[in-house]
Amino acid sequence: MLKKVLFTTLLASIAFALAACGGNGELSTRLTDRLSMDFEYEGKTFFEDGVEAVDMVSCEDGDTAVFIIDGVEERVRFLGIDTPEASAEWEPWGYQATEFACERLNNAQTIVVEADSVTGFRDTYGRLLAWIWYDGRLLNLELMELAYATRGTLINHRGEYVKYHEEIMDAYFNVRDSGIRVFETEETDPLWDYSPTPQDVTIQTLIENAEDYRFAHINVEGVVTRMVGAHAYIQDGDFGVYVFIGYSETERLQVGNRIRVENARFINDLLRRNGWHISDVRTGTGVTNDITVLESDVSVEPTVITIDDITPMHYGRLVTIENLTFESYEARRGETIATFTDGEGNTLTVSVPHIVVEDHRFDFTTLTAGDTVTITGVLSDHIDGFRLVLTSQDDVVEE
């Protein structure tokens, strides 16, 4: 009798696992498939009605995006879930969770954000909180069903549950024992370097063998050539790379400092961080500090090149380009973009990021179309092609 009970229990467990995985080892989205919006959104606004059809400005990671809501750019945190870190900090499966969420949102015909009366509009960081519907599908729930997310906060301090807590919990219980993606019981992210000890590597090795070092756990050294807000470009010899430190700051990052960055990750993220860069860098003190100043007041002379000379091997490197003719400029989200040409008719895009300290930003209104200048900056990869990043007023010299 005991054997029969055990056998029956085993069959039930297998059946449950197969149902959660669609019966063929693949995760199922059956909960997302059968859930539909129980509200109208046309003509509605988020703050007045709790729902609004929106346009996306940018997708930041698996559970955060920026939308135009009631005419204003708002950073929105997806309710009910947590995806792995994929920005200043990185975790296994963070890249894939981000890729999935961003692909769905970038290709959606309609995006609707829904507020939840239980949580209120904003979190402690000032971000809006919302359920995200794309083409009639609840993205928060789908991320959970496909094991790109684990459950987030579903109840407030008054003991009230968020609207879709039952669906999120059902999805969580379906996948938590799957061992898939964020619920891995072994090291399964094919992109991730799980080694506990970082390897010493040069910037040149990283740049020349970028794909081999994707998400590698590394230590690297270089001289700070330019600062972009709190972040830095560092260079060693003829090779440079961007160092992204998130929302923190450190005085150890200053132009002329030769630094050693430890326990970092080498990341490729063209949409958000201009391609290859170093991230996952702690800037605190003691064991929470990954940046050490090895030497100060080190001079790095920019390399004089032409637009025709530029190759991906120059990205991250401090360069000077002479005899550029100013054409025009425009302010965009997060940066000011200017266009220059050379004597051969080649075009150069120059970017002044708005995170550059305001007093250091170059004012393009001081130039008139046809003016000729020499510009020093750092070459950067970009989804629209390479750019020259301009971080100081002193880096533009009129001829």
Q: Which residues are catalytic?
A: 77, 85, 127
Q: Burial-class residue 266 by CB neighbours within 10 Å (0-12, 13-18, 19+).
A: buried
3-state secondary structure of 373: strand
Q: What pairing do the DSSP bridges indicate for beta strands 51-61 and 64-69?
A: antiparallel
Closest by CA position to 69, among listed 117, 109, 121: 121
Residue linked to tokens 């629209």: 384
Beta strands in 42-134 (DSSP E): 51-61, 64-69, 72-78, 81-82, 111-114, 128-134
CA 160 to chain centre: 32
Burial class of 352 by CB neighbour count within 10 A (0 to 12, 13 to 18, 19+): buried
Give DSSP secondary structure letters for 72-83.
EEEEEEETTEEP
Q: 3-class SS at 328? A: strand
